[in-house]
Amino acid sequence: MFSNLKKTQYLAFIKTRNRAKEFTSLSTIASCFGLKRDAYYKYKSRADMRLKLEQQIIDIVRKRRKSLPREGVRKLTKSLNKEFVKANIKVGRDTLFKVLKKHNMLTLRKKTSARTTNSYHRFYKYNNIIKIWK
């Protein structure tokens, strides 16, 4: 619960900082949120690192998807494991799911339509009595 509150607090802090750059100093905004100035820079650097990591993952997946466009996340995780290790990226299945979902790169399963009625059988076909009465 507290980590979610902390994340929300940082996001509000960053949004306020971006909007009020010309009007107030970073120290003033930080003191309003009960944070320190270095917290802003640490959070910003972590966010930049995360975006850089996501971009590397997306580039590797795009290369793979050129040859196998319908490959799912679980198979991608196994098949791209060597490339992730080469690029010194630690990516698990759930992280890959989140990144691909964020960038709308998840493959959707094809809908299968079940055919339940066989009209071309050798047995006698009865008329639909309900349709006749109406």
Distance CA(20)–CA(52), nearest Å, equals 26
Looking at residue 52, its pLDDT comes to 95
Instruction: Sort 29 into a burial class: Cβ within 10 Å, 0-12 / 13-18 / 19+.
Output: buried
Q: Is residue 15 part of a domain?
A: yes
Residue range 33-74, pLDDT digits in tens:
787 888 888 888 998 999 999 999 999 999 999 998 989 899
pLDDT mean over 102-114: 85
Q: Which range, 5-19, 70-84, 105-119, is most confident?
A: 70-84
Per the domain annotation, does 127 fall within a domain? no
Residues 64 and 29 in one domain: no
Residue 123 pLDDT greater than 60, yes or no? yes
Average pLDDT over the chain, rounded to whole? 84
**Per-residue pLDDT reduced to its tens digit, 66-106:** 998 989 899 999 999 999 999 999 999 999 999 999 999 99
| Tokens (6 digits) for 116 | 């339940």
Confidence bin at 28 (pLDDT 50/70/90): confident
Any domain includes 92: yes
Same domain (yes/no): 30, 52 = no
For residue 96, tell me if it sits in a domain: yes
CB 50 within 8 A of CB 87: no
- What is the pTM for the complete model shown? 0.66
Q: How many domains does the chain have?
A: 2
Range of the domain at 4: 1-35
